Amino acid sequence: MQDELIHDWNIDDGTPPRPSQVMLDDETLRDGLQSPSVTDPPIEKKRELLHLMNRLGIDTANVGLPGAGPRAEADVEALCREIASAKLAIEANCAARTIVKDIDPIIRVTQKTGVAIEACLFIGSSPIRQYAEGWDEEFLVRQSTEAIAYAVRNGLRVLYVTEDTTRARPETLYRLYTEAVRAGASRVCVADTTGHATPYGTRRVVGFVRGVLDAAGGSHIGIDWHGHRDRGLGLVNCLAAFEAGATRVHGTALGIGERCGNAEIDLLLVNLKLLGWINRDLTALGAYCRAASEALLRPVPDNYPVVGRDAFETATGVHAAAVIKAFKKGDAWLADRIYSGVPAGDFGFRQVIRVGPMSGKSNVIFWLESHGIEPTEARVERIFAAAKDSNRLLEDGEIQALCG
Query: CB–CB of 241/206 below 8 Å?
Result: yes
DSSP, collapsed to helix, strand or coil, labels residue 132 as helix
pLDDT, one tens digit per residue, over 366-383 is 888 888 898 888 898 998
pTM: 0.94
Q: Which fold would CATH assign to domain 13-296? A: TIM Barrel (3.20.20)
Q: pLDDT band for position 4 (50/70/90)?
A: confident
DSSP string, 264-321: BHHHHHHHHHHTTS-----TTHHHHHHHHHHHHT-PPPTT-TTTSTTTTEE--HHHHH
**CB neighbours of 26 closer than 8 A, spacing ≥ 6?**
53, 58, 60, 61, 62, 250, 251, 252, 253, 265
pLDDT surpasses 70 at 92: yes
Q: Which amino acid, 13?
A: D
Domain boundaries, the chain: 13-296, 313-402
pLDDT surpasses 90 at 126: yes
pLDDT surpasses 90 at 119: yes
Q: How far apart are CA 77 and CA 363, in angstroms?
A: 53
pLDDT, one tens digit per residue, over 245-257 is 999 999 999 999 9
pLDDT, one tens digit per residue, over 189-230 is 999 999 999 999 999 999 999 999 999 999 999 999 999 999
Query: CB–CB of 363/353 below 8 Å?
Result: yes
Q: Which amino acid, 351?
A: Q
**Mean per-residue pLDDT for 105-122?**
98
**Mean per-residue pLDDT for 163-168?**
98
Q: pLDDT band for position 1 (50/70/90)?
A: low
Q: How far apart are CA 39 and CA 27, in angstroms?
A: 15
**Mean per-residue pLDDT for 326-345?**
92
Neighbours of 186 (CB within 10 A): 19
Query: CB–CB of 262/250 below 8 Å?
Result: yes
Q: How far apart are CA 184 and CA 330, in angstroms?
A: 59
**By C-alpha distance, which of 172, 155, 154 is closest to 163?**
172
